Amino acid sequence: MSARASDRRARERFRARVLEIVPPGQAVFDFGCGPGLDARHYAEQGRLVHAYDVDPQMCAYFRAHCATLIARGRIALRCAPYAQFLQENADAAPRFDLVTANFGPLNLVDDLAPLFEIFDRLLRPGGAVLASVLNPHCLADLRYLWWWRNLPRLVRRGRYALPGAQARIWRRTVGELARVAPAFHLSEVTPGAALFGPDPSGDPRRPGALTTLALVRCRYLFLLWRRGASGAARRAAA
């Protein structure tokens, strides 16, 4: 995820937004953490990090990459099959200020509703979810037959899936992602980084506004869901 210059810029922006949202001393849950590049960065910047990934090879890399911070108790990693992760956290206590999912882990999950229920449980009051998701409107994908074949599905249903090496790869519209969980409301949508041409903001750490031109030029979109009172209130009332 660091070969393309635009991906490197997207990672830099995603991290900058995370550190803006979560002050030092607060806790981040990194879902689909991969090799731990972000987890280590957040921990080095004074955040506590818990991370989860489904892939044992990614987790092995993560453990080596973050060894010192794991030993110091600044990072914890859970590696388990996805069904087990959902089960283990069904009654989890709220311990985190932000859930992150960088470079598309949410695109590899078939049904986001149960996952957001877990996020709702893991988050403290005022918590949020920040995810970088594949942009279904990226101009670079228009050269592929699969994009055209699935366009009617995207328009009608707001989503479609393609086969992938690890799991099905979902592309979802922002409208579809806005409806994913009643306990959350989508409060921010920004472009990741432009694949070509100048970045609209002119500042490598800031994505700028989501104009139509910015939308079609980026491979990833950053979405921020804020947790409404409804999640906690619903549970308190139950």
Contacting positions for ligand SAM (CB under 6 A) = 1, 31-34, 37-38, 52-55, 58, 82, 102-105, 108-109, 166-167
Q: Kindly state the smallest distance separating residue 33's Cβ from ligand SAM, in Å.
A: 5
Q: Kindly state the smallest distance separating residue 2's Cβ from ligand SAM, in Å.
A: 8
CA distance 103 to 164: 15
Taking the least distance from each CB to ligand SAM, the nearer of 99 and 123 is 99
Strand order in the sheet with 48-53: 75-79, 48-53, 27-31, 96-101, 123-134, 220-227, 184-191
Q: Which of 40-62 are b and which e, b meaning 16 or more Cβ less than 10 Å from the residue's Cβ?
A: bbbbeeebbbbbbbbeeebbebb
Taking the least distance from each CB to ligand SAM, the nearer of 38 and 199 is 38
Taking the least distance from each CB to ligand SAM, the nearer of 42 and 184 is 42
Q: Kindly state the smallest distance separating residue 37's Cβ from ligand SAM, in Å.
A: 5
Q: Kindly state the smallest distance separating residue 236's Cβ from ligand SAM, in Å.
A: 28
Question: Would strands 75-79 and 96-101 be described as parallel, antiparallel, or unpaired?
Answer: unpaired
- Report which residue's Cβ sits closest to ligand SAM: 34
CA distance 54 to 166: 10
Question: Would strands 184-191 and 169-172 be described as parallel, antiparallel, or unpaired?
Answer: unpaired
Question: What is the C-alpha R_g of the chain?
Answer: 17
For the record, the structure tokens of 46 come out as 């004074």
Q: Kindly state the smallest distance separating residue 238's Cβ from ligand SAM, in Å.
A: 27
The phi, psi pair for 77, rounded to 5°, reads: -125, 135
Taking the least distance from each CB to ligand SAM, the nearer of 27 and 232 is 27
What one-character DSSP code corresponds to residue 163? -
Taking the least distance from each CB to ligand SAM, the nearer of 102 and 135 is 102
User: Among 96, 22, 101, 32, which Cα is nearest to 62's?
Assistant: 32
Contacts of 164 (CB under 8 A, 6+ apart): 108
Q: Kindly state the smallest distance separating residue 54's Cβ from ligand SAM, in Å.
A: 4
Q: Kindly state the smallest distance separating residue 35's Cβ from ligand SAM, in Å.
A: 6
Taking the least distance from each CB to ligand SAM, the nearer of 38 and 97 is 38
Taking the least distance from each CB to ligand SAM, the nearer of 131 and 232 is 131
